[in-house]
Structure 1
Amino acid sequence: MDLLRWLFDAQIPVGGSVLILREVLGNIFGLASAFGGMRRKVWAWPVGILGNLLLLTVFLGNVFGSATPATLWGQAGRQVIFIAVAAYGWRRWQQGRTAGGGSTAVVPQWAGNRTRLLLAGAMVAGTMALTPLFGALGSYPPVWADAWTFVGSLLATYGMARGWTEFWLTWVAVDIVGVPLLFSAGYYASAFMYLFYGFFTLAGFFVWWNACRRAAQAAGRDEDRHAAVETAFPDPRVKL
């Protein structure tokens, strides 16, 4: 209990203000999870869940006696959603690694134009639907920004679980809105970390893009080899 109390009370002095230790640790776990996701490692999911649990206590503000009184219901709620979707992604990637027999758990793929349109529509519609709800709950303004980061984070995490390369760009869209919101609300550790995430997610997008290209090239070579074998050794059951 003493360790838990220390974790909840610990702060890091920075200039004339303080950073919440739970916020710093939660974002470090989040960064480690993003790095694992870039490398397509299953351990990215449980590490991310640990970070979500820590950040949940942070963004609930006064509920847990946070040094920063602003309560961001969207930021807090998305930690809960993260945990649920991460459990799905953890299971899906574990199955993929078992089936593939390799160290990576998923083969990146493009979502396709139809799915992209659905994701964009869900982003806008979800933000419009949740903004009044978060406003009624007393979320920090501008409330639409809190709703945007919530919906975008959910879609990005789901896209990562499915192995869609576009999920990295969804994170970029989240960071563009989320960073200014976090700075204005006084969550400086998270704001700086999300600012770094913006560059990191762009790098992750190009890493997965290259992986998609290599997978397509490998599939093309396999098809060529199969065609060559069929030509050299035709099926004897087929009558000429």
Structure 2
Amino acid sequence: MNPIEWLLEGTLDIPSWSFLGISVPAAELLVREIVGNGFGLASAIGGMRRRVWAWPVGIIGNLLLFTVFVGGIFDKPQAEDLWGQAGRQVFFLAVSVYGWWRWQRSRRTGEAADGGAIVPRWAGPRGWAQLAVMAVVGTVVFFYVLRALGSWGPLPDAWILTGSILATYGMARGWIEFWLIWIAVDVVGVPLLFSSGYYPSAVLYLVYGGFCVAGFLTWVRTRRTADRLAAEPSREEAVA
């Protein structure tokens, strides 16, 4: 089997194990699920550091994971279709292209003085209202769509899809709150993925939870540093 076939068709047999009192049965895992989530984690690290390369790396992971979450079509190894999880990979592609373009443009203009592509900022009351409305409307609409498509868990799947789109859009805009949205997605995603047999993705969601807390604090500190540096010239001018 050549490397491409191994990536697309390879599987790994994982013995049963337990974590924090949760027993996980033995499972056959797709190599591309593990690799796709690896690209997702690398993209998240790049996002925390505000690097443009986070977007193309994430796109590769999206393409791999799309084929994973329609397991019922390929009939291996998971037979449960999570159409919301698959659909969000498609939306990720579109939003990631936008984010890639936006961060690339910001980097060229030298918006961030510390080497990052963008300067983190708060969404503000207007942005919060927009996110809240889109979260409710998106979850309701996607619930009915995913239920009609036969998704195994349409309600949590709908929120994961909606929240993921909003978080990715917020990241593209440089909104600090996008980390909090990801945490809310992880809280719902971990039980859903464990119960439907997508163990690598479930474990990665657990890792994401802690990582998102660290990312949120990092972006908050970066915002405070930018505000402090912006205020220093004003103080010097006042003294002069």
TM-score, normalised by the number of residues in structure 1: 0.91
Note the alpha carbon deviations across 1:125-182, whole angstroms, 9 max, x for none. Answer: 21011101100000012x1100000000000000000000000000001000111111
Mind listing any 5+ residue stretches in structure 1 that lack a counterpart?
A: 233-240
Residue in structure 2 matched with residue 5 of structure 1 by the alignment: 5
Note the alpha carbon deviations across 1:189-221, whole angstroms, 9 max, x for none. Answer: 100000110110011000000001001111111
CA distance in structure 1 between the partners assigned to 2:84 and 2:142 by the alignment:
9
Residue in structure 2 matched with residue 212 of structure 1 by the alignment: 223
Map 1:90-105; keep pairs closer than 5 Å.
Answer: 90-100=100-110, 103-105=115-117
Q: CA deviation at 1:30?
A: 0.4
TM-score, normalised by the number of residues in structure 2: 0.91
Secondary structure, counterpart of 1:108 in structure 2? coil
Is 1:50 matched up with 2:60?
A: yes
Distance 1:65 1:5, change over 3 A: farther
Asked which structure has the greater CA Rg, the reply is 1
Distance 1:4 1:63, change over 3 A: farther
- Stretches of 4+ aligned residues off by more than 4 angstroms: none
Note the alpha carbon deviations across 1:76-132, whole angstroms, 9 max, x for none. Answer: 000011011011101111111111075310000011022112202211221011101
Contact 2:6 2:31 in 1 (8 A): no
Mind listing any 5+ residue stretches in structure 2 that lack a counterpart?
A: 16-25
Residue in structure 2 matched with residue 150 of structure 1 by the alignment: 161
RMSD: 1.5
Q: CA deviation at 1:4?
A: 3.5
Contact 2:167 2:182 in 1 (8 A): yes
Contact 1:73 1:139 in 2 (8 A): yes
Contact 1:156 1:170 in 2 (8 A): yes
CA distance in structure 1 between the partners assigned to 2:10 and 2:233 by the alignment:
56
Q: CA deviation at 1:7?
A: 2.1
CA distance in structure 2 between the partners assigned to 1:64 and 1:87 by the alignment:
28
Percent of aligned positions with the same letter in both sequences? Answer: 54
Residue in structure 2 matched with residue 139 of structure 1 by the alignment: 151
* Equivalences, count: 228
Q: CA deviation at 1:6?
A: 2.8
CA distance in structure 2 between the partners assigned to 1:19 and 1:189 by the alignment:
8
Residue in structure 1 matched with residue 134 of structure 2 by the alignment: 122
Residue in structure 2 matched with residue 200 of structure 1 by the alignment: 211
